[in-house]
Chain A
Amino acid sequence: MKILVALKRVADPANHNKVKIPASGDRIDTAGLEWQINPFDLYALETALRLTENGKNPKKREGEVVVLTIGPKETETNLRSALATGADRAIRIEAVDEELDGRLVAHALAKIVEEEKPDVVMMGKQVVDSETNMVGQVLAELLDWPMATFAATIQEQPDGLLVEREVDGGVAKVKVTLPAVVTVDLRIVSPTSVRSKHTEAGFKYPYEEVRFAPLPAIMQAKKKPLAIKNLSELTPDLKSTTRYVKYEAPPGRKAGIKVKDVQELVQKLATEAKVI
């Protein structure tokens, strides 16, 4: 199986409360926050690796994993770290972050899919900075491919993927015939969530979340192929159709009071907050 994994860099999600919005409101200042791969996209990469290996022998790739990002040269650092965890090669589409929106990214990905012909395009269910959740769905429609969004478990079957999706109030089960687009949710990285046809039933990955790259792999990753494309060549006639006109900080919330015991809490809720 050949899987194309789309990665986006985001400012350190653990420190999103440190973003600053200048008085002019013309931007969100993330200075001082380290660039990282969107956590959900890292989960997509882990999922792609699990689908292209026998879980008992994760060093040998049964298939191919190609990672892709759209952005300036610095994003190659993020691609190299993805290569170090096991991806085979990388593609960077040269673009300036500010000129992108989800629609444009989906069109650019569709062009890459035409060239690469992967069996699956995989990415996170949302990006945690701009909080968008659209590229996978738009891409699937542009390609006329089936999609499984918010995937919590995936099992490879002879003719496709069996996917359990996180939906409001429960879990929806679908089967997609390849090629298909898959976007992944949090629970996809549990030790038994993803099983390729090479991995035996009952196998449990010996870690939570995602694998780390050993040092030799980080060195080897420098030698793995990284191709560069230009957004203007892939989508010459398209421009972003989304424009942010203003940003603002949300109203702050002040800390309230500490109550001494349960009785006082109930009394405050009844007489002061009037919510019970």
Chain B
Amino acid sequence: MANVLVVAELTETGAVRKTTHNAIAFAQQAGGGFSILVLGDKASAAAQELTGFGAEKVFACEDASLGAYVAEHFAPTVAEVAKQGFRLVVATASSFGKDLLPRVAGRLDGAYAGDCASVTSNGGALTFKRPMFAGNAFGYCQMSTPIQLATCRQSEVDPAEPTGGSSPVESVAKVAPGAAASRIQHLGVATVKSERPELGEASVVVSGGRAIKEKFFDIMNPLADVLGAAIGASRAACDAGYAPGDYQVGQTGKIVAPSLYIAIGISGAIQHIAGMKGSKTIVAINKDAEAPIFQLADYGLVADLFQAVPELAQELAKHKAAKG
């Protein structure tokens, strides 16, 4: 029996979300083999997408009531499968994983470590590394319950690549939920359709601050277009309504670690830095030469963003054209 159970995350339409690949890589760090559990109204089809990652088994729980994610419906089945001998249950710390896994922990009376950067196994004892205090400390924790649960931070764990092979798919029945499930109604998800890559997965992120004001998208779109980047924002820009809430990069929003992060008109509050300081190359454009963001930027440009950003988009387009 495998050691780790990975809970797969599906998109609204029932395809496997990339976050599942990060969770698989996290399970591989823990060692001892892993299986995957897919829940959804089209779980069997999604399970087929996951047979090439070296899992011992891929469990598929297909049920019409699992079409939309609701923790109260998902948790009982996850807990039941976990009880078949798994020591660790993992998912990625997306809004799905962070909502579901602690609820499963409650059901199993297991300890839970959220938002982990990594896990190491020493003679079978697992140690989880967790960022704390807005990324200003790492804590290494061990848990002592028979079944443990953990989510991994997507920006810290590179997604697993398919290894070939063909894991057997086994269907499992949905476990009847408790009274809680009859007292919650899922009324839908309003998603913002975007051609851009997802913020958590993009290799280039351009983020804007409150200084851009109502021109937020006028300024950010051309730059994001030329770089194929995802757009992020500071908390201040989101709070002021210039950018949608789910654009927020920071301790309390999305944590990102792209190859290139460009901060535009962002001063660099502690909680923002916590969300992007893992980026490989950081560029800051700000007219205030004393802005704290310059203390960690690889390349800083002190300039008026309303002139510099359109110019940067043009120069990048020229560079791209010259490169072919």
Question: Which residues from chain A sit less than 8 Å from chain B, CB to CB?
Answer: 11, 13-17, 19, 21, 28, 40, 101-103, 106, 126, 128-142, 144-150, 152, 160, 162, 165-177, 180, 185-187, 190, 208, 241-250, 253-259, 261-263, 265-266, 268-270, 273, 275-276
Q: Across the interface, which residues of A come within 8 angstroms of B320, CB to CB?
A: 276
Residues on B lying within 8 angstroms of A by beta carbon are 70-72, 75, 94-96, 98-100, 102-107, 109-115, 127, 130-145, 178-181, 183-192, 198, 200, 204, 227, 235, 238-239, 245-246, 248, 251-253, 259-260, 270-271, 277, 280-283, 289, 294-303, 308, 311-312, 315-316, 319-320
Closest 8 CB pairs of A and B: A141-B106, A137-B102, A256-B298, A134-B102, A138-B106, A146-B184, A170-B191, A177-B183
A12 and B162 alpha carbons, distance in the complex (Å): 44
Interface hub of A160, A167, A248 (most chain B Cβ within 10 A): A167
Q: List 16 A-B contacts (CB under 8 A).
A: A28-B137, A102-B112, A128-B134, A131-B131, A133-B98, A140-B106, A167-B246, A169-B191, A170-B191, A171-B246, A248-B138, A258-B300, A261-B301, A275-B260, A275-B281, A276-B320
Give the shortest distance, in Å, between B215 (CB) and chain A (any CB). Answer: 18
Give the secondary structure class of B's interface: mixed
Candidates B137, B142, B178, B227; contact of A21 at CB < 8 Å: B137
Q: How far is the CA of A239 from the CA of B67 in the complex (A)?
A: 38
**Cβ-defined contact, A244 with B245, below 8 A:** no
For the complex, what is the distance from the CA of A169 to the CA of B188, rounded to whole Å? Answer: 13
Q: Are A250's CB and B136's CB within 8 A? A: yes
Known contacts A150-B95, A258-B294; is A140 also within 8 Å of B134 by CB?
A: no
**Across-interface contacts of A269 in B (CB, < 8 A):** 260, 281, 283, 299
Given the known interface contacts A14-B270, A133-B114, A173-B188, the answer about A257 and B299 at a Cβ–Cβ threshold of 8 Å is: yes
Task: Give the distance in Å from the alpha carbon of A257 to the alpha carbon of B320 in the complex.
Answer: 24
Is B297 touching A265 in the complex (CB atoms < 8 A)?
Answer: no
User: Are B180 and A150 within 8 A (Cβ)?
Assistant: no
Could you say which of B96, B100, B141, B191 contacts A245, with CB atoms under 8 Å apart? B141
Is there contact, CB below 8 Å, between B143 and A242? yes
A170 interface neighbour in B113, B132, B145, B246, Cβ under 8 Å: B246
B136 touches A16 (CB 8 A): yes
Taking a contact as CB atoms closer than 8 A, the residue among A144, A166, A255, A265 that contacts B178 in the complex is: A144
Of chain A, the residue at the smallest CB distance from B271 is: A13
Q: For A246, what are the chain B residues with a Cβ–Cβ distance below 8 Å?
A: 139-140
Alpha-carbon separation in the docked complex, A268 to B316 (Å): 12
Residues of B within 8 A of A137 (CB): 71, 99-100, 102-103, 105-106
In the complex the two chains form, is B134's CB within 8 Å of A244's CB? no
Cβ of B242 to closest chain A Cβ, rounded Å: 14
| Number of interchain pairs (Cβ within 8 Å) | 273
Known: A139-B106, A186-B253. 10 other contacts (CB 8 A): A28-B133, A40-B252, A128-B271, A131-B132, A141-B75, A146-B184, A174-B187, A245-B141, A263-B315, A276-B316
Q: A129-B132, A138-B112, A172-B189 are in contact. Are A19 and B137 (CB under 8 A)?
A: yes
Q: Are A266 and B139 in contact (CB under 8 A)?
A: no
* A158 nearest CB across to chain B (Å): 14
| Given known A133-B115, A146-B183, contact A265–B283 (CB-CB < 8 A) | yes
Contacts A103-B111, A144-B178, A168-B95 given: A262-B308 contact, CB under 8 Å? yes
Contact B106 A166 (CB under 8 A): no
Assess A168 versus B246: contact at CB under 8 Å? Given A142-B106, A180-B183, A250-B136. yes
For the complex, give the distance between the alpha carbons of A247 and B137 in Å: 7
**Residues in A neighbouring B227, C-beta threshold 8 A:** 276
Give the chain B neighbours of A187 by CB distance below 8 A. 238-239, 245
* A235: min CB distance to chain B, Å: 12
Contacts of B245 in A (CB 8 A): 152, 166, 171, 185-187
B197 to chain A, nearest CB (A): 12
Question: What distance in Å separates the Cβ of B252 from its nearest Cβ neighbour in chain A?
Answer: 6
Asked if residues A171 and B141 are in contact (CB atoms below 8 Å), the reply is no
Which residues of A lie under 8 Å from residue B75 when comparing CB positions? Answer: 141
**Please, how many angstroms separate the alpha-carbon atoms of A123 and B293 in the complex?**
32
A207 CB to nearest B CB, Å: 13
Question: Are B187's CB and A253's CB within 8 A?
Answer: no
Known: A128-B251, A131-B131. A186 touches B112 (CB 8 A): no
Nearest Cβ on chain A to B229's Cβ, whole angstroms: 11
Chain A residues whose C-beta falls within 8 Å of the C-beta of B270 in the assembled complex: 13-17
Q: Tell which of A128, A136, A165, A266 touches B312, judged by Cβ atoms closer than 8 Å.
A: A266
Whether A242 pairs with B137 at a CB distance below 8 angstroms is: no
- A180 to B282: give the CA distance in the assembly, Å: 43
Q: For B136, give its contact among A19, A141, A245 (CB under 8 Å).
A: A19
Among residues of B, the one whose C-beta sits closest to the C-beta of A183 is: B99
**B residues in contact with A160, CB < 8 Å:** 183
